[in-house]
Every structure is written in structure tokens, then in C-alpha cells.
Structure 1
Amino acid sequence: MGNILTVTLNPAIDVRYNVENMRLGEVNRTKYIEKNAGGKGINVSRVITQLGGNVLATGIVGGFTGKLFLSKLNLDNIKNDFLETNYETRTCIAVIDNNIKGVTEFLESAEGTPEDYQKFIEKYTSLLDNGVDIVCGSGSLLKGIGKDAYNILIAEANKRGIKFILDTSGESLVKGIEEKPFLIKPNQEELEDITGKKFNNVNELVDTAKEIINSGVENVMITLGGDGALLINKDVVYKATFPPVKIKNTVGSGDSTIAGIAYGLSVNKSLEDSFRLGIACGTTNAMMDKTGSIDQEVLEEILPKIKIEKL
């Protein structure tokens, strides 16, 4: 089994409020509240841990919320080695009301410095040299560090023959593509944002993905919400679909998908089977109340129902 390193450069304390009949401009009382260590890479780490994989979480944290964040990781039995700074780790709030379609989110921003990032690079390269097979870099970046922050991480992994899976958006995705990661995972909206195109069908998505592949990225995975996902490389185009399920909380489903793919690759599953596992993990997460989490029994029920076809 290979070793997986997750990188979360803008972690958070994720707070989930369950309410009934939320009213703007009025007092709303919660029916349930939950606080977890959050950030896209943390969701990836949690699901890989639940799958039984070898995963270490790293990134940058700070302040009192940073200490709470690390304590939550430890409670979840997620192995971690983070750079601690003086800047306060952010808090993000998700409000779930069964009477409202979708999840209402409030996302703070957080600060960092170029000096903190340089210290992190030293930690990161040391971790790579201790034996890593796959790196998952996920999420947004701290304010104050460059939009090309993922580029150095990808380059250092590539030097060592380590697969780098990049899940970010906007300018940091555009920059990251330049360093030719093993896999990127935009959704359709994110791909439209970085290309300036509006996609009307799967063929247009595939054509754009192949343009990115021609620039050096090995695999492009495009998530399509309820319509499943595409996985494209120079040899094949896969389309994945999942069965109708009762959706509870879609937050973290993309991260759970990345976790399933990374875990599958780490135990030498084929790319197709890793893709299937990833989609099953993302679907299972959507059926859970907790963000970035799966249930093994549900996963085992869902996995055979994931349909993968070659286009």
C-alpha cells in the first residue's frame, strides 16, 4: 500500500448548523451543531483514513482556531504534521435547512505570508523525502501567498516521480496546470471559468480536456453534479454515473471522490477501478450528514451500482 500526503494550504474549522425554516434578518435557533477540522484536503484525509489508507495531512494553521483544528484532527485519528504560524485559521459555516434546496455557506478568508509559505516548502519536501507515492493538493490558498503556490509543490513531486492530484480553481488551477500534475478535478463551472467557454454537451467538455492533456496534464476529471463525471486522458474517455440516492449533504463529495481515486491508486487498482471507487465515495458522502465522510456498509452497497462506460 502506497503512502498518500494531503496538502491543505487554507484549512478551516467547519461549523455545520442544522436549522428549520431559516429566516433572513431574524433569530434562527439551531437544531444541531457540529464542528470539525475542515478544508478540502482534510476531507480527503478523513475519507482515506476511513478506507484504511496510509495518509498524512499537512498544510498551514495558526492561532487559537489552529490549535482547535489540530485537536479535531487528532480526535478523528487523522495523522498530521502541519506548520503552525501566528495567523488565525479561518472558520467556515454551512447552514442546512431541509426546506431550502442546497446548503447556505459562509466562508471566511485567512492570511498567510511568503515567509510562512517558504517554511512550509521546507517541511513539505522533507515529508516527500520520507516516502510518499501520491500527493493530493486541495482547495484555495491563504491570502498573502502567491497564486502559483501549488506550482512548487507539483514540481517537487514531479522531480521525485510522485503523482500529484490537484483540486483547486481559478487562477491557482490555471497556474498549477503549467507544472503538469498527474490529475486535475475541475467541475464544469470551474472549467468554464478558467477557459472562458460555455459547454453545451459532453463532446465539448472532452475536447477542452484533451487540449489540457496536450499541455502535459496526464488526466482530467470533470465532475458533472447529478450527471456523474468524466475522466479523460490521451488514451481513453470514461463516463461515470451513479444510481438515484437520498441526498443529505453534498458538501465534501468532490473531496471524497479524490480520496477514493487516491486510495485506489495507492493499492494498485487500475485507473478505471480507482475512478469507480472515487465516484462511489463521492456518492456515499452525499448520503451522510457529516461533511467529508463515508460509511463502509453504504459504500459497499453503492460501489457495484456505479456505471463506467467508455465514450
Structure 2
Amino acid sequence: MKKILTITLNPAIDVRYNIDNLRIGNVNRTTSIEKNAGGKGINVSRVINTLGGSVLATGIIGGFTGKLFLEKLNESSIENDFLETQYETRTCIAIISQNIDGITEVLESGTGDCHISDLFLKKYISILDNNEIDVICASGSILKNIDPLIYNKLIAEANKRNIKFILDTSGATLLKGIEAKPFLIKPNKEELEDLFGIKLVSTKDVVETAQNIISQGVKNVMVTLGGDGALLVTDTKVIKATFPKIEVKNTVGSGDSTIGGFAFGIANNKDITECFKLGVACGTTNAMLDSTGTIDISLLNTILPKITLEEI
């Protein structure tokens, strides 16, 4: 099987603090902490790795936190080839407290410069020229001050080589990225609404918006709908996926897990419908676990047959 390349242009050290009783404005002591290599592309890599796929992770890191990032990534046995720079990789903190519903997050912004964009583009081209890459997954935001069209340039190089490029980002970066005609984009419903400044009330509204994107040259659009499942829109069909009722523990990383499952299927030459089903099953499995951007194979095997697909 050929490699899947994942790209994370704004990675992070993800720090998770568990606290019994969070008190704002006071000293708080943790009951446990966890530090991991983070970023949407890393979640995708982790899922592909768990599925048994061949994955190579790349992106931009730097500083002391960048070294810790690589150490944590290597501990996960994920093959990687990152551009190392002088800019410190960001840290993102998640606080989980028994007295507060939800997760309190503190997210740093990562930064870089246009010179780094050029250096990464050279590294990326070298990776493509020296590996058999079948699918590329670029996920998440980009560093501040780097070339805002960096994704477009990465997509163009992939298209030259007939490599399928999956783009999972949002806002202006996604809007520009659509112009480069990637193989697939994966916004959620809210991101699609923000992208075009509209309210999508019905499934028909979502489908028509996705079809408009396809008319601009994007091959496929997958829209995740939270608890309502997901839609896959191609130039020939529209498929809706639904999943069984589950006990949701943590939905963070479910979209990344969906991308991981979909990309794994594509790299294994599965029909796009099967890829979609596997992707939704991976996203559902992630939501049933405490960890972010992870799946459990035994749990996945129980969920996969319960994913229903309907052509609409």
C-alpha cells in the first residue's frame, strides 16, 4: 500500500489538565496531566496508524516545544519528517473539571514567516519526489505570517502528480483552497455556513451549497452534521450516512478521525462509498472514547456494520 502523507502547518503540544474543582482566580492543582503531540493532521495520522495504514506526517515545528512534539510523535511510532524552524511550536491547554460542564480550552497562536513557507514547499516537493504518496491530508489552520496561499501551492503540486489531496480547514483558507481544486474538502455544517455567510436550514440547502463547490472543480465534498450524520456529495451522487445512538464522551477529533478513515480507504483502493462509511465509523468511534483523535479497533468493528448509507 502506498503512503498517506499528512500535513500539519500549525501543530501544538496538547496539554490536558484534570482538576477536581476548578476555581477561577485561585490556585488549582491537577489530579492528572497529559502532554501529547497535537494538531488536526496528527489526529489523522494516529487514526491511519491504528488502522494499519502507512502514514508519513509532515509540517512545521520549532523551538523547545517542537523538540518535545517530535519526541511525543516518535513515542507514537508515527513516521515523520517535519521542517524545523526557530519559531516556537504553540501549546494548547484543555482543562477538564468535575464542577464544570464541557472542556475549558486555552489556545496559543503559532507564527512563522513567508521564508518558512518557501522552505516547507521545497521539503514537501522533496517528500513527493522520494516517496510513493497516494493520498495527502492537509488539516487545520496555518501559522500566522506564512503565505496565505500555501495550501493552494501544495494542492497544485499534488494535482501535477495525480495525487489525491484532502483539505480540511476553514474560513478564508478554505475559501482560497477551493480554487486549487482538491480531491475532497470536509467542512462541517457550521463552517459551510460561515464560509458563504448563509444559514443552511435543510439537507437540501447543504447539498446545493456542496454542489456549487463541486461546480468550481472540487471533486468531492463531505459535510459532517454532528449528531445527524454526514453527507458525501460528488458530481454524480449524494449519500447520507447515519450512525446508531451512542454514549458520547468526547467529540473533539471526530472530524479528524473521519478524515483518517476515509483516506485509509482511498489508499486501499476502496470504492468512495466504502471510504465514506469507514470514515463516519471512525468519527463515531472517536466520540465514544475519552482521548482525542483516536479509535479502538474492536469498538470500530462493532460500529461499522451499524453505519447506514442512503443515496438521496
TM-score bin (small chain)? over 0.9
Aligned twin of 2:261: 260
Superposition deviation, residue 242 in structure 1? 1.1
Aligned twin of 1:203: 204
Q: Distance in 2 between matches of 1:56 and 1:39?
A: 15
Aligned twin of 2:49: 49
Aligned twin of 1:229: 230
Deviations 1:214-272 (A, max 9, x none): 00001011111111111101111111111111222111111000000000111111111
For residue 79 of structure 2, give the secondary structure of its aligned residue in structure 1.
coil
Deviations 1:175-195 (A, max 9, x none): 100000000000111111110
For residue 133 of structure 1, give the secondary structure of its aligned residue in structure 2.
strand
Aligned twin of 2:311: 310
Correspondences of 1:101-250 after superposition (within 5 Å): 101-130=101-130, 131-250=132-251
For residue 13 of structure 1, give the secondary structure of its aligned residue in structure 2.
strand
Change (3 A) 1:279 1:101: farther
Sequence identity, in percent? 65
User: In the alignment, is the contact (CA less than 8 A) between 1:149 and 1:172 conserved in 2?
Assistant: no
Superposition deviation, residue 96 in structure 1? 2.6
Q: Distance in 1 between matches of 2:167 and 2:17?
A: 29
Superposition deviation, residue 137 in structure 1? 0.4
Correspondences of 1:11-22 after superposition (within 5 Å): 11-22=11-22
Superposition deviation, residue 286 in structure 1? 1.2
> Given residue 23 of structure 2, which amino acid in structure 1 is its aligned partner?
R
> Given residue 122 of structure 2, which amino acid in structure 1 is its aligned partner?
E
Aligned twin of 2:38: 38
Moved more, 96-105 or 2-11: 96-105
Aligned twin of 1:281: 282
Tell me the TM-score normalised to structure 2 length: 0.97
Change (3 A) 1:124 1:154: same
For residue 129 of structure 1, give the secondary structure of its aligned residue in structure 2.
helix
Deviations 1:110-164 (A, max 9, x none): 1111111101101101111122110000000101112211000000000000000
Q: Distance in 2 between matches of 1:99 and 1:242?
A: 31
Aligned twin of 2:68: 68
Q: Distance in 2 between matches of 1:124 and 1:11?
A: 16
Aligned twin of 1:294: 295
Change (3 A) 1:19 1:248: farther
Matched, 1:23 2:23: yes
Q: Distance in 1 between matches of 2:283 and 2:32?
A: 24
Q: Distance in 1 between matches of 2:267 and 2:155?
A: 18
Superposition deviation, residue 19 in structure 1? 2.7
Superposition deviation, residue 76 in structure 1? 0.2
Q: Distance in 1 between matches of 2:230 and 2:181?
A: 21
Deviations 1:10-30 (A, max 9, x none): 000011122334333333332
Q: Distance in 2 between matches of 1:101 and 1:28?
A: 17
CA RMSD of aligned residues (A): 1.1
Aligned twin of 2:77: 77
User: In the alignment, is the contact (CA less than 8 A) between 2:117 and 2:147 conserved in 1?
Assistant: no
Runs of at least 5 residues in structure 1 that lack an aligned partner in the other structure: none
> Given residue 287 of structure 2, which amino acid in structure 1 is its aligned partner?
A
> 4+ residue runs of structure 1 moved beyond 4 angstroms?
none
User: In the alignment, is the contact (CA less than 8 A) between 2:181 and 2:216 conserved in 1?
Assistant: yes
Moved more, 175-184 or 93-102: 93-102
Superposition deviation, residue 97 in structure 1? 3.5
Q: Distance in 2 between matches of 1:136 and 1:174?
A: 17
Superposition deviation, residue 99 in structure 1? 5.0
Aligned residues: 311
Q: Distance in 1 between matches of 2:11 and 2:218?
A: 26
Matched, 1:8 2:1: no
